[in-house]
Amino acid sequence: MKAGFGRGLFGTHHSEPVGWVFAAMNFIFFLCAVGLGLFLVVESVPILRSEGWGFLLGENWWVGETFGALPMICGSLIVTGLAIFLVLPVALSGALFTSEYLPSSFRRRVKGIMELLAGVPGIIYGLLGVSFLTVGVKDVLNLLDGNTLFTAGFLLAIMILPTVLTLSEDALHSVPSEFREAAESLGLTKLQIALWVVLPQSLPGIVGAVLLGIGRAMGETIAVMLVIGSLDRVPGFNLFVSGQTIPSKLGREAVEALGSGLHWSALMGLGLTLFIMVAVLTFFGNLFVRRSSQ
């Protein structure tokens, strides 16, 4: 009787308020996302009426004449893709080594350093990129200007590396030890256990870490704006030219365009495009995580 009363007291009466709190928070987050999306849609209506599909497919951005978002869309995709391409091998190797090979004391220290680096503001990375990375890219590759798409992608890789590494390491370390013990009893080496047992089990968490890194890379403004240049053109397959991303374009022109009609609407259209890109990426990423978990 007492046990049943205890379960009723602590299981029902205490869990229901907590559930309502989480439900309310989720509802507030949902309202914020919907409100932001509606605001961007409403503000983008004038440019969509004026340019139509030419806004998304246009290659020229001349204030007062025509607004084409394709150079910024391509720049965002290229820079983010390059950052993920550069960071994945390093982050996964570092996470596997930290989780499976380092002693607990060293692991905690490495984790502390990575979490500290993950919290460094983007402007700090941007200043370091201007001071060292652009100069290094210019000298090593013998370019006229070090402000290129490659420089921006490389800088973003450095920025998101601590985030992807530490979250991937958490996912790897959370795999129950029973899996490792069973694999070891079958004669697998430590490397085989890490690659063929631990890594597949932690795949949903690693995908979540990569998605978080992609979200930060796609939304980074100041650091990218300092090292990418300001050329509004479709870069093609050349990474060593100046370019623009959607956030860097917004950072450069938002203040001067505020309240100026079609120019402001075009920038809001860029914001809506970025919002949709991140939403679609998150949706498919979450779908992949669910299927992997099942």
Q: Where are the alpha helices (DSSP H) in the chain?
A: 2-7, 15-51, 54-57, 70-100, 104-118, 122-128, 134-140, 149-173, 177-185, 190-193, 199-201, 203-219, 222-227, 246-257, 262-293
Q: What is the pLDDT at residue 6?
A: 45
**pLDDT of residue 87 exceeding 90:** yes
**pLDDT of residue 276 exceeding 60:** yes
Residue with tokens 């290229």: 78
Q: What is the pLDDT at residue 293?
A: 66
Is residue 23 a part of any domain in this protein?
no
Number of domains composing the chain: 1
Is residue 76 a part of any domain in this protein?
yes
Segment 190-237, tens digit of pLDDT = 888 888 989 988 988 898 899 989 988 998 999 999 999 888 888 878
The CATH number linked to 189 is 1.10.3720.10
Q: Which residue has the higher pLDDT, 258 or 119?
A: 119
Is residue 45 a part of any domain in this protein?
no
Distances in Å between the Cα of 82 and the Cα atoms of 27, 44, 60, 219 are: 35, 29, 24, 15
Residue 73 and residue 273 in contact, taking contact as beta carbons nearer than 8 Å: yes
Query: 67 phi and psi, to 5 degrees?
Result: -130, 115
Average pLDDT over residues 77-96: 94
Is residue 194 a part of any domain in this protein?
yes
Phi-psi region of 60 (alpha: psi -120 to 50; beta: other; left: phi over 0): beta
Segment 113-136, tens digit of pLDDT = 888 888 888 899 999 999 999 999
Is residue 97 a part of any domain in this protein?
yes
Q: Which residues of 60-86 are buried (b: 16+ CB within 10 A; e: fewer)?
A: ebeeeeebbbbbbbbbbebbbebbbeb
Range of the domain at 83: 70-293
Is residue 24 a part of any domain in this protein?
no
Residue 224 and residue 274 in contact, taking contact as beta carbons nearer than 8 Å: no
- Beta pairing, strands 61-62 & 66-67: antiparallel
Q: What is the pLDDT at residue 257?
A: 78
In sequence order, the β-bridge partners of residue 94 are none
Q: What is the pLDDT at residue 255?
A: 81
- In percent, the amount of the chain with pLDDT more than 90 equals 44
Is residue 144 a part of any domain in this protein?
yes
Residue 234 DSSP one-character state:
-
The whole-model pTM stands at 0.86
Is residue 217 a part of any domain in this protein?
yes
149 alpha-carbon distance from chain centroid: 17
Residue 249 DSSP one-character state:
H
Residue 246 and residue 55 in contact, taking contact as beta carbons nearer than 8 Å: no
Average pLDDT over residues 86-114: 90
Residue 58 and residue 269 in contact, taking contact as beta carbons nearer than 8 Å: no
Segment 6-31, tens digit of pLDDT = 444 444 444 577 778 888 888 898 89
Q: Which of 156, 149, 177 is nearest to 91 (CA)?
A: 156
What residue type is 112 in one-letter code? G
